[in-house]
């Protein structure tokens, strides 16, 4: 599916992740630093806390950190690379032990990550790759793009025109588009009428989608790189008086669940992730590295699942 080595987080692995939230013994990697003491401070830096995905991630990290007796300081990047650089420098001054980083620019954050590592901070990228990070935990975003677009193409009958609403220059977004384009290779009668970039949030997607639909009013579907983008696109279509689009996203957010439950919604599917699991697993990996333990894999991928109105009742959501 991609060039990364994929670790499937099975039921047993999920159970192990749950244990992190309930108990940690003195031997647990979550309670040891590289000097043999406790990990006391964890910095969590995310792209945009206005996105519920990152709020759920923050909640998971805080729950796990509380069990290990550590303090979490969360910084909101506000989709601003400069702000994230400043946050990392502040974390260095605070002498934190672990940095869980969700960058707004996977490559652009590299120099700041290098500064953190040189300062003795253990850095793990969560949800999105970050140049220079010592380990990475993400959803299988190529798979997410494949699942979402396969469903979209089936819903529009294997032919027609679609829009792709892309996002910021981060690995997760790029991988989702790659997955969609891979599936599209099997559908020669589907064409991309327009491919534009947003910034991963609903408000920007509303503006971008409005412009795209004005120029291409007869398209059949939209692939949005996350749920906020998809929901923004759905609102744009409604305001334009369009009612026969098929729109898919990625995340499995509570807002997407609400939209999928509506009988007349144009938002028809989302490839669901687990932000809490990503955050907790990232903290586990960082703690193992801090304890000078060797990780089985430096890059771990968590499978996604397609959620539609047909299986919505079975979906447990972001636990």
**How far does Cα 31 stand from its chain's mean position?**
26
Q: Which CATH class is domain 141-272?
A: alpha beta
Specify the residue for token string 């790659």: 178
Indicate the domain borders of the chain.
11-139+274-303, 141-272
* Domains 11-139+274-303 and 141-272 fall in the same CATH topology: yes
Alpha helix ranges (H) inside 46-109: 52-67, 81-94
Contacts of residue 257, Cβ cutoff 8 Å, sequence gap at least 6: 307, 312, 315, 317
Q: Any idea which fold 11-139+274-303 has?
A: Rossmann fold (3.40.50)
Digits of tens for pLDDT over the chain (319 positions)? 344 334 334 333 433 444 344 333 334 444 443 344 468 999 999 999 999 999 999 999 999 999 999 999 999 999 999 999 999 999 999 999 999 999 999 999 999 999 999 999 999 999 999 999 999 999 999 999 999 999 999 999 999 999 999 999 999 999 999 999 999 999 999 999 999 999 999 999 999 999 999 999 999 999 999 999 999 999 999 999 999 999 999 999 999 999 999 999 999 999 999 999 999 999 999 999 999 999 999 999 999 999 999 999 999 999 7
3-state SS of 97-131? CEEEECCCCCCCCHHHHHHHHHCCCEEEEECCCCC
Q: Are strands 305-307 and 267-272 parallel, antiparallel or unpaired?
A: antiparallel
What pLDDT is recorded for position 7? 39
State pTM to two decimals.
Answer: 0.85
What pLDDT is recorded for position 319? 73
């Amino acid at each position: 599916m991609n060039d990364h080595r994929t670790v499937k987080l099975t039921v047993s692995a999920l159970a192990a992740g749950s244990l992190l939230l309930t108990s940690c013994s003195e031997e647990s990697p979550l309670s040891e630093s590289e000097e043999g003491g406790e990990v006391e401070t964890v910095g969590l830096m995310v792209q945009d806390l206005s996105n519920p995905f990152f709020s759920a991630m923050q909640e998971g990290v805080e729950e796990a950190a509380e069990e290990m007796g550590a303090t979490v300081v969360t910084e909101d990047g506000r989709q601003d690379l400069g702000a994230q650089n400043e946050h990392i420098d502040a974390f260095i001054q605070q002498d934190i032990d672990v940095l869980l980083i969700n960058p707004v620019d996977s490559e652009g954050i590299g120099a700041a990550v290098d500064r953190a590592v040189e300062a003795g901070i253990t850095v793990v990228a969560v949800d999105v790759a970050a140049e220079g990070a010592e380990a990475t935990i993400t959803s299988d975003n190529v798979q997410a793009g494949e699942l979402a677009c396969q469903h979209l193409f089936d819903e529009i009958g294997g032919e027609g025109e679609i829009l792709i609403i892309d996002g910021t220059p981060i690995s997760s977004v790029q991988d989702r588009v790659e997955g969609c384009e891979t599936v599209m290779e099997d559908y020669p009668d589907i064409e991309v009428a327009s491919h534009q970039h947003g910034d991963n949030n609903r408000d920007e997607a509303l503006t971008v989608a409005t412009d795209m639909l004005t120029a291409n009013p007869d398209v059949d579907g939209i692939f949005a790189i996350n749920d906020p983008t998809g929901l923004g696109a759905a609102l744009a279509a409604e305001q334009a008086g369009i009612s026969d689009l098929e729109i898919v996203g990625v995340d499995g957010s509570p807002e997407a669940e609400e939209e999928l439950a509506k009988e007349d919604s144009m938002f028809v599917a989302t490839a669901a992730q687990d932000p809490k699991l990503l955050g907790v697993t990232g903290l586990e990996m960082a703690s193992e590295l801090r304890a000078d333990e060797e990780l089985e894999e430096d890059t771990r991928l968590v499978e996604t699942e397609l959620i539609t109105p047909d299986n919505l009742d079975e979906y447990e959501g972001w636990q």
